[in-house]
């Protein structure tokens, strides 16, 4: 059969197949069944690929070790399956030993186990957002008290961090007495400069309060420059 005849036959078969399929019932899998079929086919593909790799590596060693027997593909598949079963047994034993060493600390989570009371990623993100809002709120409260003092004293902020001038609770970071805001002396409301900032106790950085009331993250070079110009600042105890 010539090449042109083969092309005509192929096109005719394709045309007939399209017409027949258009008039025939179509059987489709559900989404769950299709996902399971995809997972099984992917697993089989990886298994056969691993078996092929093991066969090639094993037989390549026969050039250096002639006494090694020839490994067929069927035996290679059996060997990979056996290694997989042994790995599952070992991992199961490890999980059992972990449960025996820490009884009651693990809970079932689908096919695996997870620690009880361990916050998930969404809870951690939500906690971080809430903490950031509280930190900004504390600086806002401190700004209101400092600005109230400045209004009554010709735009001058307190000369030092004193509980007699500003209540001690406003200086505390998140209601923790051992951590207080660092205050920079000698500031006035007319000049926009760093007025107070958090101690270095947070992972995401230090929030600073400017004389204008702006609250933003500040870095060490900016803090050092502000302390050199405005004063040494009063560190938290």
- pLDDT tens, residue by residue, 81-131: 999 999 989 988 887 777 666 666 666 666 666 666 555 555 667 777 888
pLDDT, tens digit only, all 237 positions of the chain: 544 454 444 455 444 444 445 555 666 777 788 888 888 999 899 999 999 999 999 999 888 888 888 889 899 999 999 999 999 899 888 877 776 666 666 666 666 666 665 555 556 677 778 888 888 899 999 889 988 888 888 888 888 776 677 888 888 887 666 778 888 888 888 888 888 888 887 888 889 989 888 999 988 888 888 877 655 555 544
Q: Per-residue DSSP letters for the chain? A: --HHHHHHHHHHHHHHHHHHHHHS------HHHHHHHHHHHHHHHHHHHHHHHHHHHHHHGGGT-TTSPPPPHHHHHHHHHHHHHHHHHHHHHHHHHHHHHSTTSEEEETTEEEETT---HHHHHHHHHHHHHHHHHHHHHHHHHHHHHHHHTTTBPPSS--TTTS-HHHHEETTEEEEE-EE-SS-BTTS--EEEE--S--TT-EEEEETTS-EEEE-HHHHHHHHHHH---B---
Kindly report each contact of residues 214-217 with a partner whose C-beta sits within 8 Å and lies 24 or more positions away, as own/partner.
215/136, 215/139, 215/140, 215/143
How far is Cα 175 from Cα 12, in angstroms, rounded to an integer?
Answer: 83
Dihedral sign, Cα of residue 117, residue 121, residue 126, residue 129:
positive
How far is Cα 151 from Cα 47, in angstroms, rounded to an integer?
Answer: 77
Q: Residues 9, 15, 18, CA angle at the centre, nearest 5°?
A: 140
**Model confidence, pTM:** 0.46
């Amino acid at each position: 059969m010539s090449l042109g005849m083969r092309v005509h036959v192929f096109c005719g078969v394709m045309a007939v197949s399209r017409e027949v399929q258009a008039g025939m019932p179509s059987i489709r899998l559900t989404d769950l069944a299709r996902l399971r079929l995809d997972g099984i086919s992917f697993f089989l593909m990886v298994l056969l690929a691993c078996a092929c790799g093991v066969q090639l590596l094993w037989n390549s060693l026969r050039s250096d070790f002639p006494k090694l027997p020839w490994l067929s593909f069927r035996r290679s598949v059996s060997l990979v399956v056996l290694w997989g079963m042994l790995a599952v047994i070992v991992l199961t034993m490890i999980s059992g030993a972990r449960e025996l060493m820490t009884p009651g600390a693990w809970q079932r989570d689908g096919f695996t186990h997870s620690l009880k009371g361990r916050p998930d990623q969404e809870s951690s993100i939500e906690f971080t957002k809430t903490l950031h809002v509280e930190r900004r709120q504390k600086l806002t409260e401190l700004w209101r008290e400092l600005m109230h003092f400045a209004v009554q004293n010709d735009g001058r902020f307190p000369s030092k961090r004193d509980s007699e001038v500003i209540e001690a609770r406003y200086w505390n970071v998140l209601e923790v007495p051992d951590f207080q805001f660092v205050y920079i002396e000698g500031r006035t409301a007319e000049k926009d400069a760093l007025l107070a900032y958090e101690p270095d106790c947070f992972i995401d950085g230090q929030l600073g309060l400017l004389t204008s009331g702006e609250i933003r993250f500040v870095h060490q070079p900016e803090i050092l420059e502000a302390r050199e110009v405005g004063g040494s600042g009063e560190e938290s105890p």
